[in-house]
Amino acid sequence: MEIISHEGIVKEITPDVIKVTIVSKSACAGCHAKGFCSASEMQEKVIEIKRGNTATGTGRSTAQVQSQAEEYRVGESVNVNMEQRLGNKAVWIVYALPVVILLILLLSLQRFVTNELYLGLIVLGAIALYFFILYLFRGKVGRGFHFTISKIQDTGR
């Protein structure tokens, strides 16, 4: 099982979740010319990790997990981990399925709708409807994604 890991900083700790801020960078964000190029992109994301999903607390009682979760402090650097298969699932939900819907509708409706403007609006409306439905069920979809948090190991630098 491969793990995707990103470094982040603990932003907030509540009784239920630990909020970690990660900076998502495009491949060219580290380039020396990024200030002159409109392609460079850095985006800050906040990930909510449910209390008890700490890597150090795995397989322990609830009291032990809570005491391990208390070890994190606001401002501390941590690793946010997720299984790679869940990342692939997210890509399918957000990118692949909408493209499939778009292609199926475009190819099947072009025989019946002769005006390209109307065809485009119907297809875009269907994609908008897909994302609206996804938004409505975000809680149910989100339960399928589990993040864990672990302390960054000191490498002696």
Confidence at residue 28, expressed as pLDDT on a 0 to 100 scale: 59
Q: Provide the mean pLDDT of the chain.
A: 78
d(CA 151, CA 56) in angstroms, rounded, equals: 8
Q: How far apart are CA 48 and CA 80, in angstroms?
A: 10
Strands (E) across 14-96 are located at 17-25, 42-50, 77-83
153: helix, strand or coil: coil
Q: What strand order describes the sheet that includes 42-50?
A: 42-50, 17-25, 3-13, 77-83, 148-151
Alpha carbons within 13 A on the beta-carbon side of 83 = 7
Average pLDDT, stretch 117-138?
94
pLDDT class for 63, splitting at 50, 70, 90? Answer: very low
Q: How confident is the model at residue 99 (pLDDT cuts 50, 70, 90)?
A: very high
